[in-house]
Structure formats: C-alpha cells, structure tokens
Amino acid sequence: MSCINKNHPDVAKLAGELNILPAVAAAKIGVWQEKNNNFDRFPTKDELVKSNKINYQNTQSVSDQGIIASEKTIRDLAARLADRIGITVKFESDRSKKYKGKIENNVAYVNLANATLDTPVHEVLSHPIIRALKNKSEKSINSEIEKMIEQGIIKKEC
C-alpha cells in the first residue's frame, strides 16, 4: 500500500468533505489507489464513498503465498483469532458465493469453499482492527500504531 501524507492539503480537504480524520482519509486514499492501480492521483470524494458496508475478500485460486490450507486449519485459525479479539465467526461452504469471507453486522463469515489460509487473518483480525483504529482519535491512532511497531506486530515502511 502506498504511504499517503496525512498533512497533504488534498488529504485534509477530502477528510473535511467526508467528515473523517486526515489519517483515516490518507488510509482510504492509499487503499483506493492500490485497488484501482492508480497512483497518479487522489480519488474524488465520490470515488471514496462506499455504498456497500459489507467488506468482502474476493476469491482467488490460491492465497498470495501460494498455500492452500485444509478446512480444519482454516476453522482452527479463525476460531482462535475470533476468541482473542472477541468477535463471532461463522462458517459456510458454498461455491456459488464468489467470496472467501466477509464482515457483516460485526460477524465474520468464512466461506470454506473458497477460503485460503490468509482469509481468517483478513476477515477476523484485519477488519476489526482497522475499524477500531478508525474510531479512535488521531492521537490514539498514532499511539496505537507506535505500540504495534514497538511490539513487532507491524513494521514501519515509510
């Protein structure tokens, strides 16, 4: 993901238009740029507004690491992650549904028919962490990020 300067005037403008913190606007811009493979410009407000509140992980034949995990491994990993952060996880196995997992109404759904080893981490861990960070003040966000860097959970790349 590209690193967006939260102090950039265009980021501040978008943050104001969307009524969100500049750090959150910068994160949304970075995600939009990567998703659209367009690093030459910032998105407009309309491009950032997301009408569907359900976050899906799209299907792939294999995970980014090229690892296809067993159903038991995926269930175990998802259950352990869900227990640690206090979220409910439900499993389904339906090849007609074209997603690996989704978050809906604070429940993580993992579609075992399409899921790969990264699906539980993406759905059960990543979405709630991003949501929690988004809901904190900018000072708290920076503090939490610094703690995560110090603990080795994440690394600072830019």
**pLDDT for 24-82, tens place per residue?**
888 888 777 777 788 888 888 888 776 334 455 555 544 444 445 688 888 898 988 88
Domain boundaries, the chain: 1-51, 55-129
DSSP letters, 4-20, are --TTSHHHHHHHHHHTS
Task: State pLDDT tens for residues 78-107.
Answer: 988 888 888 899 999 998 988 899 988 889
**Beta carbons within 8 Å of 92's beta carbon, 6+ residues apart:** 109, 110, 111, 112, 113
What are the backbone dihedrals phi and psi of residue 17, each rounded to the nearest 5 degrees, phi first?
-65, -35
- Helix ranges restricted to H, 45-126: 45-48, 71-85, 118-120
153's tokens: 């959970």
Share of the chain above pLDDT 90, in %: 11
